[in-house]
Copies of this chain bind each other. A is one copy, B any other.
Amino acid sequence: MTKTARKSPEEKLLLAARRLFCRAGIHATGITRILEEAGVARGSLYMHYGSKENLLKAVLDTEANMWFHWFDQDLPALKCSSQERILALFDLLEKWFAKEDFFGCIFVNAVAEHEKDSGWVRDMAGTYRDQIIDRLKALVVESGARDPDVVIQKLGLIIEGAIITAMVTQSSQAAHIARLAAEDVLRCTECSPSLGKEST
């Protein structure tokens, strides 16, 4: 169980930063605390990342890659229908939430603590979000849903709700509820030709 043993200072910094940024907040986490948690010298941080901001960017990249891995590797490996693959995403979420060091999504946290009107955090989060939504879209379209765009938006909303609920309640239960809600959405979409039309 030597968790941070045999890792390069670069990797130890990345892991410590991810954990602390999520657990205590980005602004509330000082460089010094990251260095202590990582067991790495001050100079190494600035040699590898140059600034706290760049370190945060690296953490965001890492988290995005987790999502990409889910969509590009884990889900396609399943031998099941594309609809079941969509639902399997919530099982991946459940595993994520259940990790002892899960303290919310760094993207949500980063957006929450930074300027909402503009800025690189917002841009970066938006770009990665779009890339994730695209992958979700491929799954939904493949499943032959009646109104893919609406389904995607509903599912995206449920996923984000699950993340926040899991962060607030500190329980992986949210993923299970989210899966049930997603099942409702998918069932309604394939069963009802036209829903109510309160246009406004």
Contact = CB atoms under 8 A, between A and B. Distances in A.
Interface string A139-183: 000000000001001101111111111011010011011101101
Nearest to A91: B200
A112 B196 CA distance: 36
Contact of A112 (B167, B174, B183): B167
- The complex is assembled from copies of this chain, and their number is 2
Contacts of A167: 111-112, 116
B185 A157 contact: no
17 contacts: A24-B115, A26-B113, A103-B116, A108-B112, A112-B112, A112-B113, A129-B168, A150-B177, A154-B180, A157-B165, A158-B181, A160-B161, A160-B168, A181-B184, A183-B188, A184-B187, A187-B188
A104 B112 CA distance: 8
A96 to B, nearest CB: 15
A102 to B, nearest CB: 9
Given A24-B116, A114-B25, A165 B160 contact: yes
A166 B187 CA distance: 25
A170 B168 CA distance: 22
A165 B155 CA distance: 11
Interface residues of A, number: 54
A89 B60 CA distance: 34
A1 interface: no
Contacts of A57: none
A111 B165 CA distance: 11
Contacts of A159: 161
Interface in A181-198: 181, 183-185, 187-189, 192, 195-196
A80 interface: no
